[in-house]
C-alpha cells in the first residue's frame, strides 16, 4: 500500500511539474555544457567567424536518463564565409531538436543567419542576426492525471479519460535573434573576446491554451580567452551568462590544451578541462569533465556532467553526457582579403 501511494504521489507530482513547465514556462531554450562549440546557437554574429571556407558542427546531449526517460538535445549547423564588396560576410543556419519532460514536450527549430565581420588591426567586430521557425509539440497522451488512477490495479490506467481539456498540442512561431561580438589580440600570448545577443527579440506568441502567451527575450553574454603558455601548450577559458524573465544561468569552463608533434594519427591538439553550471543567486547545479582532440580540420569534444544539486539524491550524481564534432574546410586558394584570426 505504501508503494502504491508513493507511486501515485510521484506520478501526480510529475504530471503537475511537466504541465506547469509546458504552460507557464513556455519557450525554454536548449543548452549545452560545451556551449562554445555550436557557435550559431550561441550568437548569430558567430556566423562565418572562423578561418576556413565552410564549417559544419554537430552536438548531441543526453540528460537525466537515470531518473526519467532521457532529455535529448541535438543541433546541427552549417556556415561559410565570403567576400562581398570587400567585406567579410558569413551565411549559415542550424537545426535544433529538443525532447524534454519525460518525452512529453518536443521542440524543432530551424534558423537562418547572416553576419558581417570587420577587422581593424588586431581587433575584430562582428554583427549578426537570424530568423526562422520554432515548433513545439506537447504529447498529452504520455501524461497521467489524477482522474486516471485505477484503484483496482493500484496505478494509472491510460484508457481512463483524463477529464482534462486542452486547446492545441502544437505551437508554431516566427523567431528572430540579433547579436554582437568583439575580439582583440592583446599581445602575442593573449586573445580575449566578448559577445552579447538577444534571442526572441520579436516577442513571439506561444500558445498551448486559449491564453495568449508571449515568449520573453533571452539575453546572453558570452566571453572567451586564449592564453599561450609556451609553444606546446595554451589555456582557453569560456563564460556564459543567460537571463530570461528573472531566471538566470551561469556556465564557466576552462581547458588545458597541449600541442602534439607531427604523428601518424594526425592528432594535433589534446585538451581537457572542467566546467561549472549554476546561477548567480542559486546553488551550484553541476560540475562537468571535458576532454577532446583536434586534427588538421576536425575538433572532437566530449563532456560529462556530474549533478551535485539537491536532485543528486535521485540521479546518484549522474547528469548528462555530450558529444561535439566540428569540421572546417580549408580555403581552396589563399584569400587576398584579411581573414579574422580565430580564438580556438
d(CA 215, CA 198): 12
d(CA 100, CA 25): 13
Q: What is the pTM of this model?
A: 0.81
Alpha helices in the chain (DSSP H): 2-24, 39-42, 312-315
Structural contact between residues 79 and 47, judged by C-beta atoms closer than 8 angstroms = yes
- The predicted pLDDT at position 156 comes to 73
Up-side HSE of residue 34: CA atoms within 13 Å toward CB? 31
pLDDT tens string 54-91: 999 999 999 865 556 778 999 999 999 998 888 899 99
- The predicted pLDDT at position 151 comes to 75
Burial 264-282 (b: 16+ CB within 10 A, else e): eeeebbebebebbbbeeee
- The predicted pLDDT at position 54 comes to 96
Mean pLDDT per 10-residue run, the chain (344 residues)? 42 41 51 94 96 96 71 95 91 94 82 96 96 88 70 73 69 95 95 97 82 89 97 96 89 97 93 88 82 95 85 58 96 58 48
- The predicted pLDDT at position 19 comes to 42
d(CA 219, CA 242): 6
Up-side HSE of residue 57: CA atoms within 13 Å toward CB? 27
d(CA 254, CA 274): 6
Closest CA relative to residue 55, chosen from 27, 84, 92, 83: 92
β 233-244/247-259 pair status: antiparallel
Closest CA relative to residue 46, chosen from 133, 125, 132, 111: 125
H/E run at residue 108: strand 105-120
Burial 146-173 (b: 16+ CB within 10 A, else e): eebbeeeeeebeeeeebeeeeeeeebeb
Q: Which domains does the chain have, with CATH numbers?
A: 2-329 (2.40.160.40)
Amino acid at each position: 500500500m505504501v508503494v502504491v501511494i508513493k507511486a501515485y504521489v510521484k506520478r501526480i507530482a510529475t504530471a503537475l511539474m511537466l504541465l506547469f513547465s509546458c504552460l507557464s514556462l513556455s519557450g525554454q531554450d536548449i543548452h549545452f555544457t560545451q556551449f562554445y562549440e555550436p557557435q550559431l546557437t550561441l550568437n548569430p554574429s558567430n556566423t562565418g567567424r572562423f578561418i576556413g571556407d565552410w564549417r559544419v558542427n554537430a552536438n548531441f546531449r543526453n540528460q537525466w536518463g537515470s531518473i526519467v526517460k532521457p532529455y535529448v538535445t541535438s543541433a546541427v549547423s552549417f556556415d561559410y564565409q565570403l567576400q562581398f564588396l570587400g567585406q567579410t560576410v558569413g551565411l549559415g543556419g542550424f537545426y535544433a531538436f529538443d525532447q524534454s519532460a519525460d518525452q512529453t514536450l518536443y521542440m524543432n527549430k530551424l534558423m537562418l543567419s547572416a553576419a558581417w565581420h570587420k577587422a581593424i588591426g588586431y581587433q575584430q567586430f562582428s554583427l549578426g542576426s537570424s530568423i526562422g521557425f520554432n515548433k513545439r509539440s506537447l504529447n498529452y497522451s504520455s501524461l497521467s492525471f489524477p482522474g486516471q488512477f485505477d484503484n483496482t490495479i493500484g496505478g494509472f490506467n491510460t484508457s481512463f479519460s483524463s477529464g482534462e481539456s486542452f486547446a492545441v498540442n502544437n505551437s508554431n512561431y516566427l523567431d528572430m535573434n540579433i547579436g554582437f561580438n568583439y575580439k582583440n589580440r592583446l599581445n602575442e600570448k593573449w586573445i580575449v573576446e566578448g559577445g552579447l545577443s538577444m534571442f526572441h527579440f520579436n516577442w513571439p506568441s506561444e500558445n498551448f491554451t486559449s491564453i495568449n502567451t508571449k515568449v520573453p527575450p533571452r539575453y546572453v553574454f558570452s566571453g572567451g580567452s586564449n592564453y599561450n603558455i609556451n609553444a606546446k601548450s595554451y589555456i582557453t577559458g569560456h563564460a556564459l551568462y543567460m537571463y530570461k524573465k528573472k531566471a538566470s544561468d551561469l556556465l564557466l569552463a576552462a581547458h588545458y590544451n597541449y600541442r602534439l608533434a607531427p604523428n601518424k594519427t594526425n592528432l594535433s591538439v589534446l585538451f581537457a578541462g572542467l566546467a561549472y553550471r549554476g546561477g548567480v543567486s542559486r546553488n551550484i547545479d553541476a560540475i562537468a569533465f571535458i576532454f577532446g582532440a583536434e586534427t588538421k580540420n576536425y575538433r572532437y569534444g566530449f563532456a560529462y556532467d556530474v549533478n551535485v544539486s539537491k536532485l543528486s539524491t535521485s540521479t546518484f550524481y549522474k547528469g548528462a553526457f555530450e558529444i561535439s564534432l566540428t569540421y572546417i574546410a580549408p580555403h581552396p586558394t589563399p584569400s587576398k582579403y584579411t581573414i579574422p584570426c580565430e580564438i580556438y
